[in-house]
Structure 1
Amino acid sequence: MNIALIGASGFIGSALLREALARGHRVTALVSRPERLAPAAQLAVRKADVLDTVQLTGQLRGHDLVLSAFSGHAQPDIYGYYMRGMRSIVGAVRESGVPRLLVVGGAGSLEVAPGRKVIDDPGFPAQWRATAEGARDALEMLRAEQALDWTMLSPAAHIAPGARTGRFRLGTDQLLVDDVGESRISVEDYAVAMLDEAEQPKHLRRRFCIAY
């Protein structure tokens, strides 16, 4: 498969890149700083500005799918930058003719009770609120999208480096927790689930989630 990966040098993006290359896919890594990525077989690295929709459209053409690990963590206006970027990405995918878009989502928009989301908790970490709000609103934008086959994968509440086990649970819009009430996933297993979805689509035009 020929995959365009936006944000391939980031925390989750780098795990997605490793998993995609390990499975033998060809990957075009679209990043703002190409020097962060080491050369590898089956990997092409391109400098990209997600806010330049016209340029991005050209860079996406010819791929089988687009995998977006785009985030705004390093920007002063995290929410505003992320939403502008996501609108540009969706527009570029649509105009490029690439048939599928897979998006890294957040846990903040998952439900913990009917009508109540993770992000609604008064103790939700302030440093992650803008990111969570962006992922929540990007999901609503995708749900209103008429032209694309999209999928968003939300991680568990806690995602961190760990083992690639290949053993995890998948859900839909409700936060998954284990027997002691924790919601965890390794970034390596998150990447496994995302590439599984890329290879064998089971969640077209909807969001799903993952946890141990």
Structure 2
Amino acid sequence: MKIAIIGATGGTGRKVMERALELGHEVVAVARRPEVITPAERLSTRQGDVFDASGMAKAIAGTDVVISCIGPTSNFSPGNVMSKGNLNALAANFSPGTVMSEGIPNILKACQRAGVKRLVMQSGIGLSDGKELSAGNRWVIGINRRIFSKAIKDKAIAEHAVQRSDLDWVIVRPAGLNNAAATLNYTAGPAARIAPFRPLSFADCADCLVRAAASEPAWVRKIVNVGQ
């Protein structure tokens, strides 16, 4: 399968790229600065900006499925829990801009123009209404939604746009993410009961996103939770 990854230089996007290649897929990595991506077999890079729908259509042309890993700019860098990258990630959730609410509709338009029928969107468990979670986790999710209300609103607009589309979409809502090693031992599925604040590695989230793109037909047009 030929998979386009939008946001391929981000924390999850890099891991999605690596996992898709490990599984033998052909990958098109789409980023504003594709020159920073390390070359690899079965990997091609294309420049693309989610605020430019026509340019994005060219970037994903000829692919079978798109995985969107875009999100608020955080300048994430690996390190300990108090790293500058993590602090920037926190700040990005307070002031997320419109990268999701504007970027995802542009990706949808690009898919239509390019004839791509399948889209996987990385979102976040904070968008859950909590019905599938424990009572304690519902309460914490509610607090989180109020604290990060701007980021939740931005992602909600994006999710609604995807759900209204005629694509074979999957929305993946991971728990909080960290740089731990991949385990491939996680819970994922529509309305899966997970612990939203028990960390999930970027690598395990990436594996779930690739599954959603390539090997989980029962997830089509569903919202999938992934975590521990």
TM-score (norm 2): 0.80
Q: Which residue of 2 aligns with 1:194?
A: 209
SS, match of residue 200 in structure 2: strand
1:77 deviates by 6.2
1:112 deviates by 2.5
Which residues of structure 1 form unaligned runs of 5+?
Answer: none
SS, match of residue 162 in structure 1: coil
Consecutive aligned runs of 4 or more in structure 1 exceeding 6 Å deviation: 116-120
Q: Which residue of 2 aligns with 1:159?
A: 177
Number of matched pairs = 205
1:142 deviates by 1.5
Whether contact under 8 Å (1:109, 1:119) holds in the other structure is no
Matches of 1:3 and 1:123, distance apart in 2: 33
* Amino acid in the other structure paired with 1:90: L
Q: Which residue of 2 aligns with 1:42?
A: 42
2:102 is the alignment partner of 1:84: yes
1:175 deviates by 5.5
Which residues of structure 2 form unaligned runs of 5+?
Answer: 75-91
Pair 1:141–1:118, CA change in 2 (3 A): farther
Whether contact under 8 Å (1:15, 1:191) holds in the other structure is yes
Q: Which residue of 1 aligns with 2:83?
A: none
Q: Which residue of 2 aligns with 1:183?
A: 198
* Amino acid in the other structure paired with 1:209: N
Q: Which residue of 1 aligns with 2:143?
A: 122
* Amino acid in the other structure paired with 1:122: I
1:125 deviates by 7.9
Q: Which residue of 2 aligns with 1:107?
A: 125
Q: Which residue of 1 aligns with 2:225?
A: 209
Going by fraction, where is helix more abundant, 1 or 2?
2
Whether contact under 8 Å (2:120, 2:213) holds in the other structure is yes
Whether contact under 8 Å (1:112, 1:175) holds in the other structure is no
* Amino acid in the other structure paired with 1:153: V
CA RMSD, Structure 1 to Structure 2 (Å): 2.5
Quick check: 200-209 or 6-15, which moved more?
200-209
1:35 deviates by 2.6
Whether contact under 8 Å (2:192, 2:226) holds in the other structure is no
Q: Which residue of 1 aligns with 2:62?
A: 62
Matches of 2:180 and 2:207, distance apart in 1: 13
Pair 1:105–1:182, CA change in 2 (3 A): closer
Matches of 1:37 and 1:83, distance apart in 2: 26
Whether contact under 8 Å (1:106, 1:136) holds in the other structure is no
* Amino acid in the other structure paired with 2:205: Y
SS, match of residue 5 in structure 2: strand
Whether contact under 8 Å (2:28, 2:44) holds in the other structure is yes
Pair 1:173–1:73, CA change in 2 (3 A): farther
Whether contact under 8 Å (2:104, 2:161) holds in the other structure is no
Matches within 5 A, 1:166-177: 166-173=184-191, 176-177=194-195
1:174 deviates by 6.2
2:32 is the alignment partner of 1:32: yes
Deviations 1:78-114 (A, max 9, x none): 3423211111001111121112011111111113248
SS, match of residue 112 in structure 1: coil
